[in-house]
Amino acid sequence: MLRWWHTESMPKRISKQPSDINQAAFQMVRQLTNTDAASIPRVKQSDISRVMAAMGRRGGKIGGKRRLTTMTSEQRREVAQKAAQTRWAKVSEASKP
């Protein structure tokens, strides 16, 4: 006598389960909305780099001004001297044969 009736109600396993919870959520939303991977637009690496560079420039402009207002005149002088020494060191290295 064969006893195979219990196998009909067993759920089928997903062949490839995502290891990350974010990937699992992404797959679940994709299945619920009936979208395939081809319809999702891909972002180019150059676009990401361009956006990140713009964000860095904006933060750098704000950061430099804020740093200048919070530093004492002695601290500003020390930073300026260090910057000048670094610039002149590069000039002397470039002029060496």
Q: For residues 35 and 21, what is the distance between their CA atoms, to the nearest angstrom?
A: 19
Is residue 23 in some structural domain?
A: no
The answer to whether position 26 is within a domain reads no
Residue 15 has pLDDT above 70, yes or no: no
Residue 2 lies in a domain: no
Residue from 34, 11, 37, 39 nearest 23 by CA: 37
Identify whether 68 is part of a domain.
yes
Q: Is residue 91 part of a domain?
A: yes
Residue 83 lies in a domain: yes
* Residue 77 lies in domain: 45-95
Domains of the chain: total = 1
Residue 70 in this model has a pLDDT that exceeds 80: yes
pLDDT of residue 61: 75
pTM of full prediction above 0.75: no
d(CA 74, CA 1): 94
Is 28 a member of any domain?
no
Under 8 Å CB-to-CB from 30, ≥6 apart: which residues? Answer: 36, 37, 40
Q: Specify the residue for token string 């590069």.
A: 90
Asked whether residue 61 is domain-assigned, the answer is yes
